[in-house]
Amino acid sequence: MALAEIRDDYLGLVRRRRIYGGLLIVVFVAMMVSGFRLADDRNAGGFWQGLHQIGDFSAALVTEAAQKWTNLPGHMLAAVPALIETLNIALVATLIGCLAGTALSLAATRGLARWPRLVPVARRLSDIFRAIPEIVIALVLIFILGGGPVPAVIAIAVHTAGAMGKLFSEVNENVDLKPVEGLASVGATWSQRIWLGVIPQVAPNYLSYSLLRLEINIRASAILGFVGAGGIGYELRNAMTFGQGKFDQAAAIFLLLFATIVVVDQISGLARHRLTHGAPA
């Protein structure tokens, strides 16, 4: 009798789960359809009317680049200074953002925070930094400070601080507190407990997440160039704005940016693997 009741309860639970899952799918599909229809109504010209032209730009770019392929190396070489500026923006923003994220994560981790009452404040601050897109911050700063790399650095660093604050705090939650408690028992200060008891445990994960964030920030700094924040994105926007006659330059910048991202991804991937799994024997 007890076995039959357990089976009936289990089957009832399965049926309820299927019903809830089906309802969620229906709601999701309805929201997708309604959202798409609303976006299509507000889109200039309509989505379906312009769907047949979706490949026109890429076809024109590839055609002109193929016709002027001898110009591509020169255009790529000319774009190298802008690429270096983009990499500098990403590196500086990642460094500042990760340092700020480390401070936020330590302030937001229960058991490690120096002022436990400020843990909710640090968490909400990290949420705010993470919730605001980089492009919004950059547009506001460009209006205030003018165009250039400084608004891009600040915008990316703010968003990075929020994202790293969240990721680093999750790493901190898994820290073994025995070394921290041992240091506290011999009179170590809070900074000494963190430096000697926490940082050695979390450093590999911190560095791994930081390298991953560097990859993201390189893409973000290139995108911010479209709104006047400097770097290779600004050069790409200028080339695309001129249209026909400059598509070979745009193609060269695309290729250079793509190659750079691939190289950085590979290098950071190898570095993260060595940090998390150690060097091969």
Residues 6+ apart with CB under 8 A from 9: none
Neighbouring C-alpha atoms within 13 Å toward the C-beta of 108:
26
Residue span of the structural domain in which 22 resides: 1-42
Cα–Cα distance, 181 to 177 (Å, whole number): 6
Give a yes or no: residue 51 inside a domain.
Answer: no
Of 259, 281, 267, the residue nearest 214 (C-alpha): 267
Write the pLDDT tens digit of every residue in 3-36: 777 777 777 788 888 888 889 999 989 888 887 7
Write the pLDDT tens digit of every residue in 50-74: 677 777 777 777 787 778 778 788 8
Of 192, 173, 171, the residue nearest 183 (C-alpha): 192
Give a yes or no: residue 244 inside a domain.
Answer: yes
Cα–Cα distance, 195 to 46 (Å, whole number): 58
Residues 99 and 29 both lie in one domain = no
Residues 219 and 246 both lie in one domain = yes
Q: Tell me the H-state helices in 51-148.
A: 56-67, 72-78, 80-108, 119-131, 134-145
Give a yes or no: residue 49 inside a domain.
Answer: no
Average pLDDT over residues 203-219: 87
* 195: pLDDT strictly greater than 60: yes
Say which residue, 170 or 46, is predicted with more confidence.
170
Give a yes or no: residue 15 inside a domain.
Answer: yes
pLDDT band at 100 (very low <50, low <70, confident <90, very high): very high
Per-residue model confidence (pLDDT) at position 280: 55
Residues 89 and 17 both lie in one domain = no
Per-residue model confidence (pLDDT) at position 257: 84
pLDDT band at 162 (very low <50, low <70, confident <90, very high): very high
> What's the structural domain count of the chain?
2
Give a yes or no: residue 156 inside a domain.
Answer: yes
* 1: pLDDT strictly greater than 70: no
